[in-house]
Structure 1
């Protein structure tokens, strides 16, 4: 059992509570009229609730959103602006609309660990990747390639918003996102389960094409300017590099993620 599950059991949490928590851990709240409309137009998305401001004026795009939400069986709720802002967490951009989407690939990292013991999985871990476009492109590459999950910390990284959704070309709704509060703490748990934690570093001796771990492996991608943080680097027990030609020093982090996704 993972630490978090043990803690839940020690607290005496009921199975019903744990199931409810798991349900909400797999949810993504999208805000803004166009992002919500585009999300509902995607056949892969399921919606739990549609939230609307009761002050919204009649508009064709709102009618379309409501029709799509109804067709998908969503509960539709109306709120005052203050309440809707608490749901969207972005009152300046929500345009009076937010939707709770059920994303089949979203889960907490400890649930993933519990369900994948002994498996040779391949993950990307994002250490301070702060650019929404980069995050969206990383998600798209991971979905298209051979990656089993993206370890996305709540602290220090870009979070999924309309810019990320757009850059991912909608793949975020079916992406294998593993949520964690703190990346270093999560990586310690993966190491405790015998996973290899590998940093991308220009100083590494081993190149990507020659790296073929026999155990589960977490590839750590660092911040766009600073690279892998010192705290996280100290947890890594392997490092690899992508060889550069013609004086090029490094690649964009999203390009690096794509190379890993199609090489493992």
Structure 2
């Protein structure tokens, strides 16, 4: 295998690794069914503690490499020196990848999240997307809840299988998708177009906004269409995770 092939293989592996940190977070994740630990990172300055012994035992049971670093190196891995508590864990995921507008499937449907901050909501959305015909969840690295043990638990482990496309900027990702012919559909309680009236001919990205504020102004400005979900008996709105489930599973329920 050439150096170029080795590089591409490693790049693909690293793009599918999810790094979590913190003693309780790592321990709880290792106890969950479906977790595939790749590498466990310890600070070499850690004092002996039972929880660290338990973490190491669980990681080695899964065949993970156990590595020791100075505090500076560990903080570069965890990207959170104040909260990593001297431990970080790389977890293998099947569907995690970088967003690339050129790879969006023609006629496919996607869900994008704008500032979803509740880990329970994010986990439930991931579970719905994983169970549905939706091609992938588009998830920005900043502004949304972190992919941590709370999200893993709320997703019932589906985080490790769900196709998730990470991006640094949701606005930039949506703009690139538009240039490739995708339609951006924002969910809006005040919209005049019903969600049930859309066609299935276009590549479409449904955008769900913050639990209390909705879709941000920059993302709103990109929307090609705004859609509402018709509701009965005077109900004004739905939880964002419930809304995501209705969108994700609509084709399976009709």
CA deviations 1:11-48 (Å, max 9, x no partner) are: xxx56544433322211101233432343344533322
Query: Does the CA-based 8 Å contact 1:53-1:96 persist in structure 2?
Result: yes
8 Å CA contact retained: 2:17, 2:93: yes
Match of 1:74 among 53, 59, 64: 64
Number of paired residues?
A: 248
2:245 counterpart of 1:258: yes
When normalised by structure 1's length, the TM-score is: 0.82
Check if 1:240 corresponds to 2:230.
Answer: no
SS in 2 for 1:190: helix
Q: Deviations over 1:173-216 (max 9, x none)?
A: 22211011111111122222222221101222232233342222
Could you list the runs of 4 or more consecutive aligned residues of structure 1 that deviate by over 6 angstroms after TM superposition? none
Match among 31, 42, 57 for residue 52 of structure 1: 42
For 2:201, which of 214, 219, 226 is the aligned residue? 214
For 2:135 and 2:30, the matched residues in 1 are separated by 25
1:1-264 aligned within 5 A? 16-42=6-32, 44-110=34-100, 113-118=101-106, 120-264=107-251
Is the 1:121–1:148 contact (alpha carbons within 8 Å) kept by the matching residues of 2? yes
Shift of residue 249 of structure 1? 2.6
Query: What SS class does the counterpart of residue 189 from structure 2 fall into?
Result: coil
**Secondary structure at 2:222's aligned position in 1?**
coil
Show CA shifts across 1:129-178 (max 9, x none).
Answer: 22223222211222233322111112332222333233323322222110
**In the alignment, is the contact (CA less than 8 A) between 1:31 and 1:94 conserved in 2?**
yes
Moved more, 184-193 or 48-57: 48-57
Cα offset for 1:127? 1.4
- Structure 1 range deviating more: 181-190 or 210-219: 210-219
Q: How high is the TM-score relative to the length of structure 2?
A: 0.85
Structure 2 gaps of 5+ residues are none
Secondary structure (helix, strand or coil) at the match of 1:234 reads: helix
CA contact 1:31–1:162 (8 Å) conserved in 2: no
5+ long unaligned stretches in structure 1: 1-13
Q: Secondary structure at the match of 2:144?
A: coil
